[in-house]
Amino acid sequence: MARPRGFEPDTALAQIKDAFWRRGFDATSMQDIEAATGLKKQSLYRLYGDKRGMYLKALDHYGAHEAAEAAALLAGDGSAKARFERLFTHVVDSAVKDGDRRGCFLCNASIDQAPVNDDTRVSVARLMKAVRDAFDGALAASEPYKSKSAVRKQKAALLLASYFGLRVLVRAGMDEAVLRAAVRQAVAGI
């Protein structure tokens, strides 16, 4: 009894996410979002609320897909070292081979929106915690990290910093040589 929706809300949200991911919150106008989705503002506002709502939903979408995919790479089989090598190499490969220089949406949001918007800050904190847990879990796959939680915490902290830093370097356009070197050294220390 009602006209059916002419598009898929989830793929539209994925397109919104991509727009925010590339250019950040402020530099992405509603016009940009209309162009990215092929929809009109009316439909967008009705479905996702205001621009901030779209951004937060896009961030959640990132957590449910890209971040979860990364967590899956860490949760696979193999030693702790093998798991992190998988993740870090994947990051550099997609940057170099696919030319994906968007970096990490969570990382981008941490820098340009978390400090100025409360809702974004709590979303970022929540997603960050999930990433930390995934890192911790992957380390716990091998000794001595499995039994020694203190050294595991410390190692996980450095891996977390290295991971985000790597993705900053990717977005900054750093040369492949440096990215590869960082990955090699990071996994060598596990």
Partner DNA sequence: CATATTTGTTACCGATTCGTCCAAAATTCA
Partner DNA sequence: TGAATTTTGGACGAATCGGTAACAAATATG
> Nearer to a copy of itself by C-beta: 48 or 164?
164
Burial class from Cβ neighbours inside 10 Å (0-12, 13-18, 19+) for residue 44 reads buried
Pick what 82 binds: a copy of itself, DNA, none; C-beta below 5 to 8 Å, kind-dependent: none
Residue 23 near DNA by CB under 7 A: no
Looking at 97-117, list the stretches that DSSP marks H as alpha helix, in order from N- to C-terminal side: 105-112
Q: What's the Cα-to-Cα distance from 35 to each of 11, 25, 28, 38, 60, rounded to whole Å?
A: 14, 16, 11, 5, 21
Residue 144 near DNA by CB under 7 A: no
Task: Name the site residues for a copy of itself (rule: CB under 8 A).
Answer: 22-24, 26-27, 101, 103, 107-108, 110-112, 114-116, 121, 124-125, 128, 132, 153-158, 160-166, 168-169, 171-174, 178-179, 181-182, 184-186, 189
Residue 130 near DNA by CB under 7 A: no
User: Among 45-53, 60-68, 111-119, 176-184, which window interacts with DNA (CB under 7 A)?
Assistant: 45-53
Quote the longest CA-to-CA distance of the chain.
Answer: 62
| 20 C-beta neighbours (distance < 10 Å), count | 28
Distance, CA of 17 to CA of 11 (rounded, Å): 10
Residue 3 near DNA by CB under 7 A: yes
Counting every residue, how long is the chain? 190
Q: What's the Cα-to-Cα distance from 105 to each of 20, 99, 101, 113, 168, rounded to whole Å?
A: 8, 16, 11, 11, 10
> Nearer to DNA by C-beta: 123 or 162?
123
Phi, psi of 7 (to 5 degrees): -150, 170
The angle that helices 105-112 and 9-23 make with each other, rounded to 10 degrees, is 60
Residue 97 near DNA by CB under 7 A: no
In angstroms, what is the minimal distance from the CB of 30 to DNA? Answer: 4
Query: Could you say which of 15, 16, 28, 74 contacts DNA (CB under 7 A)?
Result: 28
Query: Could you say which of 11, 29, 79, 185 contacts DNA (CB under 7 A)?
Result: 29
Residue 14 near DNA by CB under 7 A: no
Interaction site with DNA (CB under 7 A): 1-7, 28-31, 39-43, 45-47, 50-52
